[in-house]
Amino acid sequence: MFYNHQEIEKKWQKYWQEHQTFNASQPTNSKKPKYYVLDMFPYPSGAGLHVGHPLGYIASDIYARFKRHQGYNVLHPVGYDSFGLPAEQYAIQTGQHPAITTKENINRYEQQLRKIGFSFDWSRELRTSDASYYKWTQWIFIQLFHSWYNKANDRAECISTLVQHLEKHGTEGLFAAQSEALDFSAEQWKAYTETTKQEILLNYRMAYRAETTVNWCPALGTVLANDEVKDGKSERGGYPVFQKKMMQWSMRITAYSDRLLKGLEGLDWSEAVKESQRNWIGKSEGASVKFKVQGTEEYIEVFTTRPDTIFGVSFITLAPEHQLVKFITSPEQKQAVEEYIEATSKRSERERMADVKNISGVFTGAYAEHPITQEPIPIWLGDYVLAGYGTGAVMAVPCGDDRDYAFAQHFNISIKNIFDKDLSDGAYTNKEGMIYQNSDFLNGETDFNKATDTVLKYLESHNAGKRQTNYRQRDAIFSRQRYWGEPVPVYYEDGVPYTLPVSALPLELPEVEKYLPTEDGDPPLGNAKAWYWDEINQCVVPAPQDPSKAGDRAFPLELSTMPGWAGSSWYFLRYMDAHNEDSFCDKAISDYWGQVDLYIGGSEHATGHLLYSRFWTMFLYDRGFISHSEPFQKMINQGMILGMSAFVYRIEGTNQFVSKGLSKDYSTQRIHIDISLLKGTSDELDIEKFKQWRKEFNDAEFILEDGKYITEREVEKMSKSKYNVVNPDDICEEYGADCLRLYEMFLGPLEQSKPWNTQGLSGVYGFLKKFYNLYFDGDAFSVSDEAPTKPELKVLHTLIKKVVYDIEHFSFNTSVSQFMIAVNELQKMKCNKREILEPLAVLISPYAPHLCEELWSLLGHSESVDFVPFPVLNESYLVEDEIEYPVSFNGKMRFKLPFSAALSKEEIEALVVKDERVIQQLNGNQPKKIIVVPKKIINIVV
Ligand code: ANZ
């Protein structure tokens, strides 16, 4: 029977859409246990999907379908992360409204996704750029603004509990996550003006405004988060990024550093992603130590992870930005210090960290006092010390730290060595196997922990230092000077930010004439005609004509928008209750769905999305809006599908192209060409197509080998910019979605990267044809009700065992090979028994759902195959009754003999010697030894 994949797939896609087959039931309608399978939702780019994108979606879809077969109420939703830079950059270039581009791109994605037959619950589809969605993103922002982190209770609380504390006790006994340490009494608090109170509260709010050093990207006209910057350039576009101080909205994620670390322990994630989160958070335990500056009342506070090395302090290094520099610098050193500060301000933090070769610094002329020995210690500036980490000051110990050692060597500063090791090979950074010497009360000590305790005890009792834990993680900058993002629901009264009332949400993105900054350098929202908040009428209005007139009071709204990560930090909650207009998600409903049980997506989000969404989930949990504090229980990161790029060689300075084999003889340039310019699946260039591809190639000339132009091929990341993308639509057209799905899984282990090779599809297609034809006799559907034979049952149950194991272990590639083996064997047996073929269709259905639905309905069922219980393994069918033993003589296989599988070694030995053919082969000789490996082989040594 002809396998008409196009007809079959269209038919079932239509059926699923009409019957809403995959819609999850809400808790009240379902007695089934729940299972939540989520993909990282796509950003709908203009280029559409290539075959690399669906890899993870296919895996999660197989799992979702498997769970439905197992009787779960499965939530497997889809949506779009639809705010962001590319649509806005496109708008700037073309004037097209980003909403229009975004909609077009989403439509294209939806069509492509539907063609692959995913079992998504389309009724819950969401878009982060829809006002009905971002209303709740704004609502969460408002909750964050009205919250602070109470370290005493280790959770975020409503800001009102902070105000109560301040009214009663001032800052005394307050243990809060804060931007800077404040100190005032209850009386002082009460006497402050409203504006001052608001400014103080910003010091504690979870969403706050502060002057921050930011990554400023002039080409994109916006601030970027640390994880959006790679090697000093913007991740999107590769534009240079500079450090700049700006007033910005930030999120106090650092309040959660410790919980974000601890929470990792309970998550079923790859060790690699956990490790990158740990590194990003960068917890280090140590101490802060105070050094008095000689001749002043000032103290320099340093952060050190090695208080045990305090007797080795040879100098102190301050970051050039350190606030004490201007007070302590001696008049003689003033000019040199100023010049140095000027020179280092041009270098970004990243550059400074990365550059270990170029040592630079300057002496301040000032000395500090050692807190134990009281010896004078010179104070230097050095740009290897970062202003934003710890206290921006280090106690430099050249005998124990490489950078301090290099600095001391470079400037010829005398080194105090406290270890019994000579330093000819550089600093001694090992914590083990050392003996402290020249260390006053540590002399002779060999244990790092004991030495640390001894020093800390001394410092604490002299009020010169204390234990301290530091985190490398910084608060997350939240504002972007861009148009296509969620407006921040805030207005300013006397420069103080106030949130809009929740009843006024959503604060909709206004129309603007231009998507560029205003002439005053304000963000694009500054171009909006009406962007003021009328508090009395509770609406957005144009700028007031005469602000002094009563009744004409309106307040400017915030001009920056939220970053890309805002909408994606909570979308998994919205899917649970996607159409709720009164709440971001009903509590009883989020209690039912709880955590995402399986999350599949790329590991490139390790320190961005996966940290931010954990942070927001913990926050919503603290504030009692949900009952779980980790969003994603299990996560799998799919590998990348790589493309086979193609290149031509152009002879330099000409329009002449030389075939790969001859290219070495010329000086050439290698140029990427589109893989659609190749002949079929070969490496040969279609010269005519190539000439048409671009104007500049119209009159190209070619140097051929054997009459052909052979291109160079290379495996690279699949990407539109490398012209090596394969469009899944074309594959679905030619081979079908089922074939695409099976093939993507067949390519190799899910988590590994692997190259795409279109040639491999025909093998899988052949398998599908064979599978389909098991159910046909010629063109007639033909299945018999005869009882299956033992070998047939064995094939089926071997497959059940393997497939269940594989799906549960996400080893989808090996299932596909087992399908092929099973179908081949059944075909050889000419098996057309219903008792075999029915379960077979169910087993394969998560992978090839269209074809299996078709077969299931041909088998006479009217319900979707998706909910049929998964076939259950019966181990007894796997037990062999009889085994064909290969019989060897002196290691040479001669023939096979059947023996019952139940026989022991000894019993087989006894039977073997009586066998006719064995006797004949022995030719009267006595066997020296008979080796029987049960169920495997028999070897007779003569
Ligand atoms: C003395 C010392 C002796 C140190 C020794 C190390 C080894 P992590 O683990 O990254 O937290 N440090 C402190 N603040 C710094 C800053 N703002 N910029 C650059 N370096 C800074 O490392 C903390 C260690 O890095 C601290 O411990 C300090 O040097 C340095 F044998 O103090 B140490």
The region, left, alpha or beta by phi > 0 then psi within -120 to 50, assigned to residue 710 is: beta
Is 624's pLDDT higher than 90?
yes
Please name the residue whose Cα sits nearest to atom 11 of ligand 1: 284
Do residues 585 and 593 touch, judged by C-beta distance below 8 A?
A: no
Q: How many CB atoms lie within 10 A of CB 317?
A: 24
List pLDDT tens digits, range 147-164.
999 999 999 999 999 999
Task: Name the helix (H) or strand (E) containing 257.
Answer: helix 257-264
Q: How far is the CA of 326 from the centre of ligand 1 (A)?
A: 23
**Mutate which of 279, 291, 301, 304 to test ligand 1's pocket (most atoms within 8 Å of Cβ)?**
304
Q: Is the pLDDT assigned to residue 918 strictly greater than 90? A: yes
pLDDT tens for each residue of 178-200: 999 999 999 999 999 999 999 99
pLDDT value of position 360: 94
By the 8 A CB rule, do 488 and 560 touch?
yes
The finding on whether 215 has its CB within 6 A of some atom of ligand 1 is: no
pLDDT at 222 over 90: no
CA of 302 relative to ligand 1 center, distance in Å: 9
- Over residues 320-347, the mean pLDDT reads 92
Q: Is the CB of 392 under 6 A from ligand 1?
A: yes
Model confidence, pTM: 0.88
Q: What is the mean pLDDT of residues 499-526?
A: 92
533 lines ligand 1 (CB under 6 A): no
CATH number of 283-465, picked from 3.30.70.3340, 3.40.50.1100, 1.10.3720.10, 3.90.740.10: 3.90.740.10
Q: What percent of the chain has pLDDT over 90?
A: 82
Q: What are 745-791's pLDDT values in tens digits? A: 999 999 999 999 888 899 999 999 999 999 999 999 999 999 999 99
| pLDDT at site 551 | 59
Cβ neighbours for 93, distance < 8 A, ≥ 6 positions apart: none
Q: Where in the chain is the domain with CATH 3.10.20.590?
A: 880-941
Whether 306 lines ligand 1, by a CB cut-off of 6 Å, is yes
Does residue 304 line the site of ligand 1, with CB under 6 A?
A: yes
In angstroms, rounded to a whole number, what is the distance separating the alpha carbons of residues 216 and 94?
A: 24
- CB of 417 sitting under 6 A from ligand 1: no
| CA–centroid distance, residue 436 to ligand 1 (Å) | 19
389 lines ligand 1 (CB under 6 A): yes
Ligand 1 atom closest to residue 470's alpha carbon, by position in its atom list: 11
Could you tell me the distance, in angstroms and rounded to a whole number, from the CA of residue 305 to the centre of ligand 1? 6
> Which two three-digit tokens encode residue 330?
């001696």
Q: Which residues pair with 650 in a beta bridge?
A: 657, 669
Task: Please give the Cα distance from 326 to 293 (Å, whole number).
Answer: 13
Q: What is the pLDDT of residues 244-254, one digit of tens each?
A: 788 899 999 99
Better pLDDT: 606 or 140:
140
| Index of the ligand 1 atom closest to the CA of residue 389 | 17
Q: How many residues does the chain have?
A: 942
pLDDT-derived band at 232 (thresholds 50, 70, 90) equals confident
Say yes or no: CB of residue 45 within 6 Å of ligand 1: no
Pairing status of strand 233-234 against strand 229-230: antiparallel
Is any atom of ligand 1 closer than 6 Å to the C-beta of 470? yes
Closest by Cα among 254, 278, 249 to 619: 254
pLDDT band at 547 (very low <50, low <70, confident <90, very high): low
Q: Where in the chain is the domain with CATH 1.10.730.10?
A: 728-869
How distant is the alpha carbon of residue 821 from its chain centre? 36
Greatest pairwise CA separation for the chain in angstroms:
125
| pLDDT at residue 307 tops 80 | yes
CA distance 740 to 533: 53
CATH class of domain segment(s) 728-869: mainly alpha
Cβ–Cβ under 8 Å, residues 558 and 486: no
Q: Is 540 in the pocket of ligand 1 (CB under 6 A)?
A: no
Alpha-helix residue ranges (DSSP H) falling in 20-118: 54-69, 85-94, 98-115
Question: Helix axis angle, 849-858 relative to 5-19, nearest 10°?
Answer: 90
**Residue 828 class from Cβ within 10 Å (0-12 exposed, 13-18 middle, 19+ buried)?**
exposed
Alpha-carbon distance of 794 to 878, in angstroms, equals: 5
* Residues in Cβ contact with 185 at an 8 Å cutoff, skipping those fewer than 6 apart: 170, 172
Is it the case that residue 355 has pLDDT exceeding 80?
Answer: no
For the Cβ of 390 lying below 6 angstroms from any atom of ligand 1, the answer is yes
pLDDT tens for residues 415-465? 999 999 899 889 998 888 889 998 888 999 999 999 999 999 999 999 999
Rounded CA-CA distance 294/367 in Å is 6
* Residue 544, pLDDT score: 84
Q: Which helix (H) or strand (E) covers residue 555, if one does?
A: strand 555-556
Average pLDDT in the chain: 94
Torsions phi, psi for 527 (to 5 deg): -85, -5
Q: How far is the CA of 394 from the centre of ligand 1 (A)?
A: 6
Measured on CA atoms in the order 406, 412, 416, 421, is the torsion positive or negative?
positive
Q: What is the pLDDT of residue 552?
A: 64
Single out the residue of 783, 872, 772, 768 nearest to residue 820, CA to CA: 768
Show the tokens assigned to 434. 């050392």
Q: Report the pLDDT averaged over residues 617-621.
A: 98
E strands, 105-257, are 121-127, 147-150, 155-158, 207-217, 222-224, 229-230, 233-234, 242-251
592 lines ligand 1 (CB under 6 A): no
- DSSP class of residue 72 equals -
> Where is the binding site, in residues?
720
Cα end-to-end span (Å), the chain = 55
Of residues 725, 767, 760, 730, the one with CA closest to residue 744: 760
Confidence of residue 353 (pLDDT cuts 50, 70, 90): confident
E strand residue ranges, 117-184: 121-127, 147-150, 155-158
Q: Are 241 and 224 spatial neighbours (Cβ–Cβ below 8 Å)? A: yes
**Which CATH number, 3.30.2010.10, 3.20.20.70, 3.10.20.590, 3.30.420.40, labels domain 880-941?**
3.10.20.590
- Ligand 1, atom 33: nearest CA belongs to which residue? 304
Q: How far is CA 925 from CA 254, 897, 915, 919, 940, in A?
A: 84, 20, 14, 9, 11
- Kindly report the protein residue whose alpha carbon is nearest to atom 9 of ligand 1: 284
Report the alpha-carbon distance of residue 271 to residue 600 in Å, rounded. 15
Query: Strand 641-651 and strand 780-781: pairing?
Result: unpaired
CATH 3.90.740.10 residue ranges for the chain: 283-465
| Residue position matching structure tokens 């500063």 | 413
Kindly state the DSSP code that residue 864 receives in the 8-state scheme.
-
Within 10 Å of residue 531's Cβ, how many Cβ atoms?
22
pLDDT, one tens digit per residue, over 841-900 is: 999 999 999 999 999 999 999 999 999 999 999 999 998 778 889 999 999 999 999 998
Binding residues for ATP: 720
What residues have CB less than 8 Å from 230, skipping those under 6 apart?
Answer: none
Structure tokens of 135? Answer: 């209303």
Is 894 in a helix, a strand, or coil? strand
**Whole-number Å distance between alpha carbons of 631 and 617:** 6
Q: What is the DSSP letter of 787?
A: P
Label residue 550 by pLDDT band (50, 70, 90): low
pLDDT of residue 548: 65
Nearest alpha carbon to residue 840 among 806, 776, 797 = 797
Distance CA 477, CA 250 (A): 4
User: Distance between CA 673 and CA 693 in Å, rounded?
Assistant: 9
**Higher pLDDT, residue 488 or 353:** 488
Predicted confidence (pLDDT) per residue in 91-123, tens digit:
888 889 999 999 999 999 999 999 999 999 999
Residue 236 has pLDDT above 90, yes or no: no
Q: Does the CB atom of residue 305 touch ligand 1 within 6 A?
A: yes
Residue 680 has pLDDT above 90, yes or no: no
Burial of 684 (0-12, 13-18, 19+ CB in 10 A): middle
Structure-token pair, residue 507: 């604060």
Q: What is the pLDDT of residue 253?
A: 98
557 within 8 A of 487, measured Cβ to Cβ: yes
Q: Tokens for 26, please give them.
A: 């809400």
Contact (CB, 8 A) for 714 and 645: yes
Q: Tokens 């005032």 label which residue?
A: 184
Tell me, what amino acid is at 121?
A: D
If you measure from the C-alpha of residue 403 to the centroid of ligand 1, how many angstroms do you get, rounded to a whole number? 9
Which burial class, exposed, middle or buried, applies to 787 when counting CB atoms under 10 A from its CB (0-12, 13-18, 19+)? exposed
Pocket test for ligand 1, best of 213, 281, 305, 370 (most atoms within 8 A of CB): 305
